[in-house]
């Protein structure tokens, strides 16, 4: 496929990019960061927040860079005085109806709104007026919803539509009362929500947060360890958030090859078994009718001896292996390889076959 390229000038530098891409993506390719709150490259652009406005020579007004394609010969300024002034005004308007409780907010250190207010020197709003006072929704065990902190970027709605395909969220009401909500404004637990948490993954503020991570620590205190989900063989990746040697939550990782940032309820919120006190921490071998702790070498030697004894006495087909959909594809491959190559039988099955 032959791609067309166009040349344009951004911040005095001429660059060449693929024709048809947006100014914000072209700027990123040129190493220039344009602030954004409603834009996400994994979601369809809507141009709602207007924080990404830039100055384009010849245009009558500032243009939103996320929905404006690059054209040949275009001249763009991303941080001109007019642009900076506009962005400060947008941030001023956003925090006019936003709690400034950053000291106790769960999203502190991972909030784009706070980051941009810091970058542009916006400390408080110059607008006075009515403020929302929504009740914080904690009716389900997975997601905390605080619409007082919602900036109406619509990312949660698009993630629910475009990633999960549930269409559980949309904007409700109008004007000052406009907010993203479920059908008939029901609590999440009573709606069609499948609790995948993808809405939480894209929320740029503290409007949506993981309930299991509440009061577990600041985001900058957590070490992220990329791993593979153990709940099925799809191979989804995510980040384990680890603090003081313990897993305190799961967050999506854009670099995941299989799933991107899309997760299901099990992958996003089913990690709490890790530190369950009922988990076995050492192999157990039954002796005189009682299970006793054993070393791994002792347990594996016993298994190998028993398997060999069964094969020698009854033949290879006396052995069969049943694999699990909760294992990775690589683990399932090893199970069938062991069954065929070591035990010498094709009697292998899988719980997801039906």
d(CA 66, CA 229): 33
| Phi/psi at 215 (5° precision) | 60, 20
Spell out, as residue ranges, where the chain has pLDDT lower than 50. none
Residue 38: Cβ-neighbour burial (10 angstroms; 0-12, 13-18, 19+): buried
Distance CA(50)–CA(48), nearest Å, equals 6
Tell me, what's the pLDDT at 3? 66
Closest to 339 (Cα-Cα) out of 331, 347, 351: 347
The pLDDT of residue 16: 95
**Prediction pTM value:** 0.85
Quick one: pLDDT at residue 233?
A: 75
Angle between helices 81-95 and 112-119 (to 10 degrees): 130
Cβ atoms of residues 8 and 70 within 8 Å = yes
Buried b (16+ CB within 10 A) or exposed e, 194-213: ebbbbbbbbbbbbbbbbbbb
CATH architecture of 5-79: Roll (3.10)
pLDDT of 302: 95
5-79 and 222-278 in the same fold: no
For every residue of 219-278, DSSP letters joined together read GGGPEEEEEE-SSSTT--EEEEEEETTEEEEEE--TT-TTTTT---HHHHHTTGGGG-TT
* Host H or E run for residue 171: strand 169-172
Q: How far apart are CA 350 and CA 326, in angstroms?
A: 10
* Fold (CATH) for 222-278: N-terminal domain of TfIIb (2.20.25)
Domain boundaries, the chain: 5-79, 222-278, 284-350
Question: What is the DSSP track for 265-323?
Answer: HHHHHTTGGGG-TTS--S-EEEETTEEEE--HHHHHHHHHHHHHHHHHHH-GGG--EEE
d(CA 91, CA 112): 11
Alpha helices in 71-142 (DSSP H): 81-95, 112-119
* pLDDT computed for residue 2 by the predictor: 59
Q: Which residues contact 90 (CB under 8 A, 6 or more apart)?
A: 49, 50, 51, 53
Which tens digits make up the pLDDT trace of 223-279? 999 999 888 878 899 999 999 999 999 999 999 999 999 999 999 999 988 999 998
Distance CA 266, CA 277 (A): 20
């Amino acid at each position: 496929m032959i791609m067309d390229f166009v040349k344009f000038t951004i911040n005095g530098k001429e660059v060449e990019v693929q024709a048809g891409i947006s100014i914000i993506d072209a700027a990123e390719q040129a190493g220039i960061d344009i602030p954004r709150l409603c834009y996400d490259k994994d979601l369809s652009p809507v141009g709602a927040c207007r924080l990404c406005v830039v100055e384009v020579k010849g245009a009558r007004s500032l243009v939103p860079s996320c929905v404006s394609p690059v054209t040949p010969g275009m001249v763009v300024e991303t941080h001109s005085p007019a642009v900076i002034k506009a962005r400060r005004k947008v941030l001023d308007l956003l925090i006019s109806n936003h709690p400034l409780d950053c000291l106790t907010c769960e999203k502190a250190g991972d909030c784009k709104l706070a980051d941009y207010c810091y970058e542009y020197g916006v400390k408080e709003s110059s607008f006075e007026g009515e403020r929302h006072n929504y009740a914080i929704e904690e009716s389900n065990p997975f997601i905390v919803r605080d619409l007082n902190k919602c900036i109406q970027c619509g990312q949660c709605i698009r993630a629910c539509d475009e990633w999960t395909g549930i269409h559980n969220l949309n904007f409700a009401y109008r004007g000052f009362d406009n907010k993203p909500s479920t059908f008939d404004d029901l609590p999440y637990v009573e709606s069609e929500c499948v609790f995948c948490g993808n809405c939480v993954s894209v929320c740029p503020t503290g409007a949506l947060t993981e309930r299991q991570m509440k009061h577990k620590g600041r985001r900058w205190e957590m070490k992220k360890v990329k791993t593979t989900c153990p709940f099925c063989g799809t191979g989804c990746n995510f980040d384990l958030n680890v603090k003081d040697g313990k897993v305190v939550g799961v967050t999506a990782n854009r670099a995941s090859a299989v799933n991107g940032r899309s997760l299901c309820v099990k992958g996003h919120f089913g990690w709490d078994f890790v530190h369950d006190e009922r988990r076995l921490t050492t192999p157990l071998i039954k002796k005189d009718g009682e299970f006793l702790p054993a070393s791994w070498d002792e347990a594996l030697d016993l298994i190998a001896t028993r398997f060999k004894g069964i094969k020698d006495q009854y033949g290879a087909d006396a052995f069969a292996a049943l694999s699990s959909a909760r294992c990775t594809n690589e683990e399932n491959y090893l199970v069938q390889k062991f069954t065929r190559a070591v035990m010498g039988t094709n009697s292998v099955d899988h719980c997801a076959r039906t």
